[in-house]
Amino acid sequence: MTTPAITADPLATVARALALADRHGFCHVPIAWDDGELVGITCVCDLWGAKSHELVIQHMRVPVVTIGARDTVLRAAEVMRDRDVGCLPVLDERRRLVGIVSEGDLMRVGAIGLDHLPPACMTCGSRHHVRAGISATTTDPVAYCLRCLGRGERRVGPAPANDPS
């Protein structure tokens, strides 16, 4: 678990939330008030098409799939798999945000294996929102993240080495 969780205020702009995610190198941004009350979550891909001056609260997802601070890493892995989410905000007994668990965190502690992670993007190596398909030039399987697909960035060859988080 990463603690404390780095959050965006619900009234922050999209530009600020994207800068926060970029500065810290993560894809999911919990949206919480100063007292730790979790109100939503957003993924950077939900913000890509938004105007920079819009508020992040307009682009957050609710309800948020969460886990309790006393739950085990195996329970976290089960919830992530069953609910098909890439992270879980961790809440204390008062339902306040105390941390966040990602697929990379679970892999590092052995709760999931590399085979449980999505494939890596052939262009940038990201494992975030990767879509698999067949290459236009070969019959080999290929995978690209939504960001590279949106930019038209595709290359043939093995994916670059990437941290699985």
pLDDT value for 149: 66
Query: What superfamily does domain 14-108 belong to in CATH?
Result: CBS-domain (3.10.580.10)
Taking only the tens place, the pLDDT of each residue in 43-86 is 888 898 899 999 999 999 999 999 999 999 889 989 988 998 88
Q: What is the dihedral of CA 52, 55, 61, 65, to 10 degrees?
A: 110
- Higher-pLDDT residue of 107 and 132 is 107
pLDDT value for 26: 85
In single-letter form, the type of residue at position 3 comes to T
CA angle 12, 18, 19 (to 5 degrees): 90
* Of 107-111, 131-135, 137-141, the least confident: 137-141
The domain ranges of the chain are 14-108, 118-157
Strands 67-68 and 87-91: parallel
Please, what sign has the CA dihedral across residues 79, 84, 87, 90? Answer: negative
Mean pLDDT, residues 11-28: 92
